[in-house]
Amino acid sequence: MPEYSVIGKRVNRVDALAKVTGKALYGADIILPNMLYGKVLWSPYAHAKIRILDVSKARALEGVKAVITAADVPGQKKEEEYPNPMTCCLTREKVIFAGQPVAAVAAINPHIAEEALELIEVDYEELTPVIDVLEAMKPDAPLVHLNSYTQNLPTKDAKPSNIFWYMKNSRGDVEAGFREADIVLENTFRTQTVNHGYLEPRAAVVSVDPEGKVTVWSDNQGIFELRELVAEFMNLPLNYVKVIPVEIGGAFGGKSHQVVSPLCALLSQKTGRPVKMVMTREEVFKTQRPVAASVITLKLGVTKDGRLTAASATMVYDYGALYGMGGMDIVPFGSFSGLNPYRIPNLKIECYDVYTHKAPSGPYRAPTAAQAAFAVESQMDLLARALEMDPLEFRLKNAVAEGDTMVTGTPFPKVGFKETIERMRQYLAQRGNLEGENLGRGVACGFWAPASGAAGANINVNADGTVALVVGSVDVSGTRTTLAQMVAEELGIPFENVSVVTGDTETAPFSVLSAGSMITRSLAPPVRQACQDVKDQLSQRAAPQLGVDLKDVEFAHGRVQVKGMPEKYISLADLARGIAHFPGESPITGRGLNKGFQLSPVFVVEVADVEVDKETGKVKVLSYTAAQDVGLAINPTLVEGQMQGAVAQGIGWALSENSIFHRGVMQNATLLDYRMPTAADVPFVDTLLVEVSFDASPFGIRGVGEPPIVPSLATIANAIHSATGVRLQELPMTPEVILNRIKHGASSSRLMP
């Protein structure tokens, strides 16, 4: 790796003080003059016809300024059931999930708005919901959407189906591969519906001016995506919607859609006053896009010497009542990624995405990949035991490297998977074996390939030599800090001399939404281009004054100097001062653009040590270590924080988190009943940063935030198996489940020699 002066350093986050002092502005903090307060009436049923919807009493209540239903949505054709599933989906004649918006009100205070909801008369005819994803796949199951046919089939389905997407991927001869194997293992694994658990509930403030211009403040992960959602809902051109960014109190993929902003916009349009909505925690749990549950049947074959010969998988994902992932292609990619870490010459994967009458699912850190890895890495652990091989050695023997083929058929570029396994082996060798009663150690690996999207960046040089970077991406993970480090490095100026501004949709260059572990990668190229643009302009001013050619100029220590003669220089401040004080000097503004580029494969290896109380089934995670190939850590502290946060979420997903449904209605929609891990449940997570440069990215960086959650479910499951001999194939692995399995049997695996 090259030597850097700012990149790779542990500088403090630029927003740290504002956030710890409470001065940072979030959506719920916005207050406008003459503001109204909005509330939503949500469906209490998962599947029902609406026979009567009468809002007249609510409209007549003193203090109520507007009540809206689906009939008020501008431009929505009646035959368009839900034209954009990423937005609010006001029901027309039938509800298809509990928590679907039925109506919304705006009043002079929240209390009157809540009273108005109670005055809305709705006569429901409850229908039978389909809740289990396997039941939903049956030909005679109640249909969530009457006109939904399975997409991506060779020929169109003969009749509608709850299976809305099918994907198949295969190579080699699977049956021959299993015949070649000495051991064949088949199991079915289930994962549950879990929530993102972000700290900040959803909130929005929207104001529509007399000319019809809509201004939005809301907690979305992408201001340009939010602009499109509101504009489409309101049937307006994009230049009639302006989104002003606010801070985001956690997201993890869960704030890439919108419910309240479009409703606020319509209410504001009807009242001529700003409207604010802040969701309760219960509303967030019941209505916001949780993680897709899954049922995965996996069959793996291996020779006696530990070489994988074949894999066959059937993957079924429960997407609830609406599809809202932002692109069908991400689903099979995430599902297929479970097998991507290993060389398997013969494989077949079938993936089914299915509608049920539950709240629509959405993206959550490496969508669908953790579910797939839970199955694959649990199987790998069982096979290692059957072969009596060290679990890391078994994985290393089958690990992919540069030039090997992904499941999708694409060859791997340079990757650091083997280096990451070796780093973990070294770490464990230093720690020594785990010894003691009821103790177990689990190992698992994971893969994810973060994307990169279109983005722009502008840099303005101030008259004192400081600079301002203007981008259109909201900061959910410290990206303002890493971008400032890049600018400081490229221009050779102190980190403190760089400010980063997230502009609104009318002032900032376009940026892809902040999701998918891709925002740093997406912005690094345009930031670097903008820096080069600034350097070119400054060099043209400095070279004549220094009496040298342009090629002999370099940037360092906040000045422009002659290469090989650092004593001959002009400070950046002196060069820039002419902008303000001398007529005829043009401002210095750099511009950079990026259209997106190659996926960056990332591998992670994780180890957990646990203690299981065999009298109660309670699991205590004693230690957890994650090793990851990060390419290059722009700011190691922020990278480690992303890894630690993802692991904490994975531990909760594995051990305790679960959405409990009765007839499609979530029953545990509070933080008391929905068991998220606390500081007492998660140990300090050790992080091992492996840096194998990715040539297609500036500075060699790879994505960071999503990969660490991918193997975490299996890591905990494998550790529990090590401690108890119990192989759990369904999540969450609660004390009750573990205790029951200890008492009544260890495993239901099908082992076929």
31-127+199-250+255-287 CATH fold = Aldehyde Oxidoreductase; domain 3 (3.90.1170)
DSSP conformational letter for 406: P
Task: Give the pairing of strands 750-752 and 183-191.
Answer: antiparallel
SS3 51: strand
Does 269 have pLDDT greater than 80? Answer: yes
The alpha carbon of residue 270 and the mean position of all alpha carbons in its chain are separated, in whole angstroms, by: 35
pLDDT at 596: 78
% residues pLDDT > 70 (the chain): 95
Dig out the tokens for 100 from the structure: 């679907």
- The candidate with the shortest Cα–Cα distance to 712, out of 364, 427, 437, is 364
Pairing of β 101-107 and β 163-171: unpaired
Binned at pLDDT 50, 70 and 90, residue 83 comes out as: low
| 480-510: pLDDT as tens digits | 999 999 999 999 999 999 999 999 999 999 9
d(CA 74, CA 93): 17
Domains 16-23+452-594 and 31-127+199-250+255-287 share a fold: no
In this structure, of 17-26, 83-92, 125-134, 453-462, the range with the lowest mean pLDDT score is 83-92
The rounded distance, in Å, linking the Cα atoms of 537 and 532 is: 9
Helix (H, G, I), strand (E, B) or coil at 721: helix
Mapped onto helix, strand or coil, the DSSP state of residue 369 is helix
Helix (H) or strand (E) holding 184: strand 183-191
Q: CA 476, CA 252: separation in Å to the nearest integer?
A: 9
Position 751 confidence tier, pLDDT thresholds 50, 70, 90? very low
Tokens of 619: 């699991």
pLDDT greater at residue 334 or residue 423: 423
Query: Cα–Cα distance between 606 and 603 in angstroms, integer?
Result: 10
Residue with tokens 């511009």: 591
Written as six digits, the tokens of 215 are: 């201004």
Q: Is the pLDDT of residue 748 over 50?
A: no
pLDDT above 90: percentage of residues in the chain:
83
Nearest-angstrom CA–CA distance, 471 and 501:
6
All structural domains of the chain with their residue ranges: 16-23+452-594, 31-127+199-250+255-287, 293-450+599-752
User: Residue 574: pLDDT above 80?
Assistant: yes
**C-alpha torsion angle, residues 319, 324, 327, 330 (rounded to 10):** -40
| pLDDT 10s digits, 26-74 | 999 999 999 999 999 999 999 999 999 999 999 999 999 999 999 999 8
pLDDT for the residue numbered 583: 59
- How far apart are alpha carbons 342 and 406 in whole angstroms? 9
pLDDT of residue 334: 72
Helix (H) and strand (E) counts in the chain: 18, 29
**CA dihedral of residues 165, 169, 173, 178 (deg, nearest 10):** -70
Q: What confidence category does residue 330 fall into, taking pLDDT thresholds of 50, 70 and 90? A: low
d(CA 638, CA 642): 6
Give mean pLDDT, residues 309-337: 79
Adjacency order of strands within the sheet including 36-42: 64-68, 101-107, 36-42, 275-278, 203-208, 214-218, 241-245
Half-sphere CA count of 479, side-chain side, radius 13 A: 30
d(CA 746, CA 737): 12
Residue 752: predicted pLDDT: 46
Q: Is 260 exposed, middle or buried (0-12, 13-18, 19+ CB in 10 A)?
A: buried
> Can you tell me the distance from the alpha carbon of 362 to that of 365, in angstroms, rounded to the nearest whole number?
10
Q: Are 562 and 571 in contact (CB under 8 A)?
A: no
Indicate the SS3 state at residue 126: strand
Distance, CA of 369 to CA of 389 (rounded, Å): 26
Radius of gyration of the chain (CA): 27
List the beta bridge partners of residue 455.
511, 594
Give the pLDDT confidence score for residue 196 in this predicted structure.
94
Q: What is each CA distance from 183 to 391, 628, 703, in whole angstroms?
A: 16, 30, 36
Q: Report whether pLDDT(445) > 50.
A: yes
Residue count of the chain? 753
The predicted structure's pLDDT at residue 587: 87
Question: Which residues are CB-neighbours of 56 under 8 A, at least 6 positions away?
Answer: none
Residue of 712, 706, 687, 697 whose CA lies nearest to 631: 697
What pLDDT does residue 753 have?
40
Query: Higher confidence at residue 275 or residue 149?
Result: 275
- Residue 595 and residue 510: Cα distance in Å, rounded? 11
Reported as a pLDDT band with limits 50, 70 and 90, residue 2 is: confident
pLDDT tens-digit map of 500-556? 999 999 999 999 989 888 899 999 999 999 999 999 999 998 999 999 999 999 998
Q: How far apart are the first and last CA of the chain?
A: 47
Q: In this predicted model, which residue has the larger pLDDT, 450 or 314?
A: 314
pLDDT given at position 492? 93
Cβ distance 164 to 148 under 8 Å?
yes
- What SS3 string covers 420-481? HHHHHHHHHHHHCCCCCCCEEEEEEEEEECCCCCCEEEEEEECCCCCEEEEECCCCCCCHHH
**Which of 560, 556, 562 minimizes the C-alpha distance to 538?**
560
Identify the pLDDT of residue 80: 54
* CATH label, 293-450+599-752, candidates 1.10.3720.10, 3.40.47.10, 3.30.2090.10, 3.30.365.10: 3.30.365.10
| Structure tokens that stand for 42 in this block | 């949500």
Closest to 565 (Cα-Cα) out of 583, 547, 589:
547
Q: How confident is the model at residue 86 (pLDDT cuts 50, 70, 90)?
A: low
Instruction: Please check the confidence at residue 580 and state whether its pLDDT lies above 80.
Output: no
- pLDDT category of residue 702 using cuts at 50, 70 and 90: very high
Distance CA 516, CA 536 (A): 33
In this structure, which CATH number among 3.30.1330.20, 3.30.365.10, 3.30.56.10, 3.40.50.720 belongs to the domain 16-23+452-594? 3.30.365.10
- The model's pLDDT over 145-163, given as tens digits with 9 standing for 90+, comes to 998 899 888 777 789 999 9
Place of tokens 């519906």: 193
Torsion of CA 37, 41, 42, 45, to 10 degrees: 170
Question: Chain-wide mean pLDDT for the chain?
Answer: 93
> How many C-beta atoms surround the C-beta of residue 363 within 10 A?
28
Q: Which helix (H) or strand (E) holds 266?
A: helix 260-271
Residue 76 pLDDT grade (very low, low, confident, very high; cuts 50, 70, 90): low
pLDDT digits (tens, 9 = 90+) for 153-193: 877 778 999 999 999 999 999 999 999 999 999 999 999 99
Output the pLDDT for position 582: 59
In this predicted structure, which of 227-241, 317-331, 600-614, 625-639 has the lowest mean pLDDT? Answer: 317-331
Nearest-angstrom CA–CA distance, 446 and 68: 46
Name the 3-class secondary structure at 253.
Answer: coil
- Arithmetic mean of pLDDT, 560-581: 85
Angstrom distance (rounded) from CA 23 to CA 25: 6
